[in-house]
Structure 1
Amino acid sequence: MKNNVKKAIAGIAIVSSACAVFAAAKFSARKSISVLSREDGSGTRSAFVELFGIEKKVAGGIKVDYTTDEAAITNSTAVMMANVACDRYAIGYISLGSLNNSVKAVKIDGADACVSNIDNGSYKISRPFNIVVRDGISDAARDFVSFISSREGQSVIAANNYIKVPSTKAFVSNNASGKVVVAGSSSVSPVMEKLVEAYRSHNENVRIELQTSDSTTGIANAMSGTCDIGMASRSLKQTERAGGVYEIAIAVDGIAVIVNKENPVGNLSREQVEKIFTGEYTKWSSVSR
């Protein structure tokens, strides 16, 4: 099993020194690929390894994540982007909705990573954004959930480069008051911040606390009641459903495979991505021909 990594990146401390080193040289395809992945528990990692065939079933139907042991582990979307931006030999993956001009998203099988291509089916690397709740949540939590699923909430989703879920219902607040804790996925968190901001104009009496971690933690916290609403960038497992929670789809998001802006590689096949992240390809020359 190859998900026991040898290196871990917990912050952005290495970025400044890395930038200084790489600024002095030009890109060379003979150099080693710096593979960056996400931590165990990340919904983005779970979806990524499944969609690219990096996770495989072995005897007994057990799923094994074959991410190379040489992958450096980043603990958030922001850290992933920061390190790819400063390492011209790095490759990683992030939520498409979080993509900015500090890094470059490569085409996958010739299709650009964009909302329109997810919508038309040509870019196939996508996954759901879900919120996770228990029965019997507070009136304040129900009001915010209703807003997210409403026409107004879904307009926020669409405005932030995600594919909205169908909704024709206008939001009508129940005028609840109180505190709502929303916790989980760092991929869902950026658009959740936008939703929280938009919701305030509809109900100022609810205070929403946003806690960012990962999908598994968000789901576990929803199950235990530590938070009112969990954020997950993957579907629930059967064992989690058995814990008394259910999911509500709030958006569809793509996963962008990202490289440094100075990297001339602009298109990769799904097979090439798999071989990079399982360690079969270790030099950029393997995909630069």
Structure 2
Amino acid sequence: MKKSVSMLLAALMLTGALAGCGSSASGTQAEDGADSGVSGAITVISREDGSGTRGAFIELTGVEEKTADGKKVDNTTADAEIANKTDVVLTSVAGNEKAIGYISLGALNDTVKAVKVDGAEATVDNVKAGAYKLSRPFNIATKGEPTGVAKDFISFILSKEGQAVVTDNKYIAVNDAAESFVSDGSSGQIAVGGSSSVSPVMEKLIEAYKSVNPNASIDLQTSDSTSGMTGAMDGTFAIGMASRELKDEEAAQLTSTAIALDGIAVIVNPANTIDELSMDQIKSIYVGDITDWGDLA
């Protein structure tokens, strides 16, 4: 009986020792992943070719580089998951603890977390002050001088009332001293199309404009910046939208106007405890040099 009790006690002590080792291993694993709160391979989310947000992001972070002959090369990793709209990026990052993505600052919501970039928070004030470096213009473009509803609507966008819509939707106005709008009463229907980043604020601008000029009808079509500029050039759109500067070949055929300034927020899942990344780290993630959250010590 004593022998049986002794064997039982020995077994219990061994079990406790093994459990202690297991706890130690778990603690080490948590400590190793303490920098991000997650561990394992980074899921890189990028926008599609033609996206103005992608174009601005890769240029500003250095993911896009020029070759010796001046050709621009996008070095985004082939392992990146491609999202064709801002909402898709948000959903992808919100649903994946290991994901990282980038979106328009104006589209940021509490389903994801924006990280600081080089110590600066992604805020309107920091973009205005130049402290947050990931920023770009929202442009509209027309082929030739706009007339009718297109001309009247553009006047509204750049007016005091239009720029108030811009700031009310978390974007940055380009004209703080704009004058009040007086419609010329133009009637008819036009199409406006392009960037999915510009589209949310454009939708609000259209709603506000139609309240002061009910004679106008504006059809909003959302795609990407390149499609917006192509549509403006071939006449599909009276007004094209781009969330980037126009390319040389586009600028040669179109007249562009900046309607707002926007930041690009680098976002992670709320479970990720990383609060800040450097521009170099962001580039390294997006070109595929850093592939694991554990490498961001």
The TM-score, its normalising length taken from structure 2, stands at 0.86
The residue aligned with 1:217 is: 227
Contact 1:29–1:283 (8 Å) recurs in 2:
no
Residue of structure 2 equivalent to 1:170: 180
Within-5 A mapping of 1:1-289: 29-166=38-175, 167-242=177-252, 244-287=253-296, 289=297
CA distance in 2, matches of 1:108, 1:168: 32
- Compute the displacement of 1:256 (Å): 0.2
Mapped to 2, the partners of 1:64 and 1:251 lie a distance apart of 27
Structure 1 runs, 4 residues or longer, greater than 6 Å off: none
Question: 3-state DSSP class of the match of 1:163?
Answer: coil
Write the letter of the residue equivalent to 1:184. G
Asked whether the 8 Å contact 2:158–2:178 carries over to 1, the reply is: no
| Aligned mates of 1:241, 1:264 — CA distance in 2 | 42
Counterpart Cα distance in 2 of 1:208 and 1:239: 27
Q: Which has the higher helix share?
A: 2
TM-score (norm 1): 0.88
Residue 52 of structure 1, CA deviation: 0.3
Give how far 1:105 is off.
0.4
1:279 aligned partner, one-letter code: G
For structure 1, the 5+ residue unaligned runs are 1-25
Q: Secondary structure at the match of 1:59?
A: coil
Aligned partner of 1:53: which letter?
Answer: G
Question: Match of 1:61, SS?
Answer: coil
SS at match of 1:236: coil
Give the share of equivalent positions with the same residue, in percent.
Answer: 55
- The Cα shift of 1:136 comes to 4.1
For the residue of structure 2 that corresponds to 1:252, the secondary structure is strand
8 Å contact kept, 2:66–2:73: yes
- Shift in Å, 1:28: 5.6
Distance 1:204 1:210 in 2: 16
Structure 2's unaligned 5+ residue stretches are 1-33
- The number of aligned residues is 262
